[in-house]
A and B are shown apart, each in its own frame.
Chain A
Amino acid sequence: MSDYSLPNPGTIEAVVSDEPRGTLLETLHEWVITVDHKRLGILYILYSTFFLLVAGAEALFIRIQLAFPHNHFLSAQVYNRFFTMHGTTMVFLVGMPFLFGFGNYVVPLQIGARDMAFPRLNAFSFWLTAFGGLLLYYSFLGGGGLYGVGNAPDVGWFAYAPLTARSFSPGHATDYWALALIVSGFGTFGTAINIIATVVSMRCKGMTLMRMPLFTWLMLVVSMLTLVTITPLTAAQFMLLIDRYLGGHFFDTQAGGSSLIWIHFFWIFGHPEVYVLVLPAFAIANEIIPVFSRKAIFGYPAMVAASVGIMFVSLSVWAHHMFTVGMTSTSNAFFTLSTMLVGVPTGIKIFNWIATLWGGRIRFTTPMLFCIGFLFQFLIAGLTGIMLSVSPWDWQLHNSYFVIAHFHYVLVGAVVFCIFAALYFWYPKATGRLMNETLGKWHFWLFLIGFHITFDTMHFLGLLGMPRSIYTYQPDRGWNFLNLVVSLGGMVQGVAVLIFAYNFIASLFQGEIAGDDPWDAWTLEWTTSSPPPVYNFEEPPEVHSRRPLWDLKHPDDPDWEYEA
């Protein structure tokens, strides 16, 4: 930012202003060269919305294939590619970009900054993520397989060795997987650095750490976790590429290498990654629940401590994905106990949210509905998580649909619900118009019903012994009816998401004008106009409490009188 004194007015390079819109090309050019955190945030969100639709369509294809026994709607090869790409896309191209998109858009506004700490790095990170995603999907066309046809990765999203070795996965599909994720991983790494530097160094006057909005706090925690989470994956993928291109032996069991170490490395990334995805969901709930309960968040310090606690505990639980590889009973006991320990800080959070709701004047708007759905579903997801953390139970149900149901409860029931809540919540800030509430409620209820039809049923399929990643199944297993139900639930969710997509686009033109502060909220982003000007705030704001806008709205009863 302003490292040096202002140059004299004669040297001003370009004056960007809100003149009438230029041609399409000019607008496009502005968006491509932008370093503005708000535009990049919007780009992130549009990008991940696009991939949400793509990966959602892949999921529907998977479900159509599994709706009936002995179905041949997809070929087995295409089926493998689809579940690999569904998982990879949802985690790397939907989940993380969405959450970093919100972080990008909201964090500088909440801390009263003009932009991110490193605006150019921010643009660079976004484009790396975006090009990484495109490279991954280019594999459908360019990943020359055995027969010279396009071939997407088909090794599962965790790409276990030795399946990924040259001899078992010829062609370039697996390389596309590794390369695309390395590229987008660097992008994620850059964004994480940027958010940390922004939160630490760009806060406005008076915004001490214990006055930061909880959304910002959790984005800081998530970014710190991301730093040590995405990098092990990048390192392991470099090892994989060394094996595949230079003839290395990291995961080559013939030469003394170990496939087990890949599993360790992957889950050292993979488990904290779950928290990278779910902590921003907590962050969103932390903003939305108090606003629509008309109460300050209950137990702010406990929330901060719990988030930091989750960050540390989540680094020591990865091997609960590996109970079936045959570890010593000491390791099993350690990872069982450390996994159960995660339940403590998350339990604190759930109680705090409930206590925030308690006695509040709750307004059931669409964002609030999604957050309440999140509360219930996250509770169930946490409980099945504790069931699975018990290693003997996991031995029975590992790689079954029970596990699939559990993590979809986390990733859809918690993360996607909160993402939708955040989209409804901050849409008026970004566009100046509110999304349609009626359509929003349709979206919520259909999505909720579809979600429960799909994923509640999946638990039973898992208990009945249906393993994950299977192409099809025999009709005499007793899974037919439940599978059909799961697939139908998936369709209901698909319809709900289409309603959302229509609402998202239509509200841009027909939505009700929002005004600066449509939700009667309390953080700094609602003090500026909707959409905010390119410089965010005319004057750098100064805050005296956790709810600066509350202080302004209630000058007779400001918050800083209560906060130590």
Chain B
Amino acid sequence: MVNEQNLEQGNGELIEIPAGTAWPIILAFGAMLCFASLVTSIGVGLVGALLTGCGIVGWFKQVFPHEHHAFVPVVRRRFVPASSRRTVAHIQVSEVHRAYLPVESYPMVAGLRGGIAGGIVMIFPALLYGYLTQHSIWYAVNLLGGAGVAHWTNPSTADIAAFHWNGLIVATVIHAAVCSLIGLLYGAMLPMWPKRPILLGGLIAPLLWTGLLHSILGFVNPAFNARIAWGWFALSEILFGIVAGIVVTRTGKIRTHQALPFVLRMGIEAKEFNPPKGNQP
């Protein structure tokens, strides 16, 4: 800040500032006239070119070899920082708030891994379902893949039971994306209920997910909706959840950011939570 010691000294001192100059406005006016000559007349353009030339030369002389400066005398003044409100209140964050948040949880990657593993295992009941009901393992694949094949309108059951390589690709992409995303979401939700990952992943989440799909699938994919067997669906979901939960529990717990106070994580200050100063550069 303003150096207090120097405030009184240096009366009559000069500060250099860039000197005022008319060349920029002349150059700007000239350039504008050059453009305007396209819609007016050549004479305007000639004047504009002349002004532009003068402006460039004049400007160049202003800055070369040395930039022109003007000197203004300093008027010394004393700035007294004053605030009408002298009391400073700090946000009080009581430690009690923190008791309910887990300080240890599974890492988010564990959820992702669980999602992938569950996704692989889940394939089998789905294929089994297709084989048992329609005697084709491609049936379930095409039901899912049909969501991505936009020109599939009103396919027959035999159609769906046949092999379609684009159906397989789309189904694989959808399955892989949804499984990893759900795994990620699962990982993100783990800190909410870190003690029972299998219950959360294996029962609650599949039931919620099945319920959600049950209500919206009619809009998203009517063909799928018409043929889906909800019992089998819920079964594969639960299998997915249990596998994912097992994978997660086998991963070790880590300390979460929850160990740090909220105010610190959000980048705001609070008197009670001075960060440790020792290890800062």
Contacts and interface: CB of A to CB of B under 8 A. Distances in A.
B266 A299 contact: yes
B39 A537 contact: no
Contacts of A548: 1
B31 interface: yes
Nearest to A361: B85
B14 interface: yes
Interface size class of B (residues with CB under 8 A): 35 or more
A120 B83 contact: no
Nearest to B88: A557
Contacts of A552: 1, 81
Contacts of B131: none
A298 B63 CA distance: 44
B52 to A, nearest CB: 12
Interface stretch (A79-87, A174-182, A270-278, A433-441): A174-182
A299 B267 contact: yes
Contacts of B275: 564
Interface string B13-30: 011111111111101110
Contacts, number: 174
Contacts of B268: 296, 298-299
Contacts of A542: 1
B138 to A, nearest CB: 26
Interface string B81-96: 1111110100100000
A16 B70 contact: yes
Given A13-B68, A183-B31, A516-B79, A296 B269 contact: yes
B79 A533 contact: no
A120 B59 contact: yes
B58 to A, nearest CB: 10
B39 A179 contact: yes
B2 interface: yes
Contacts of A131: 28-29, 32
Nearest to B76: A538
Nearest to B55: A124
Interface in B215-261: none
A1 interface: yes
A99 interface: no
B35 interface: yes
A70 B84 CA distance: 60
A549 B40 contact: no
Contacts of B150: 329
B280 A564 contact: yes
9 contacts: A13-B19, A33-B25, A176-B39, A187-B28, A296-B269, A302-B267, A537-B2, A539-B2, A561-B274
Given A520-B84, A543-B1, 18 more contacts: A3-B66, A6-B16, A15-B14, A15-B70, A15-B72, A36-B20, A124-B28, A127-B24, A131-B32, A175-B39, A176-B39, A179-B35, A299-B268, A301-B267, A361-B85, A535-B72, A537-B2, A548-B1
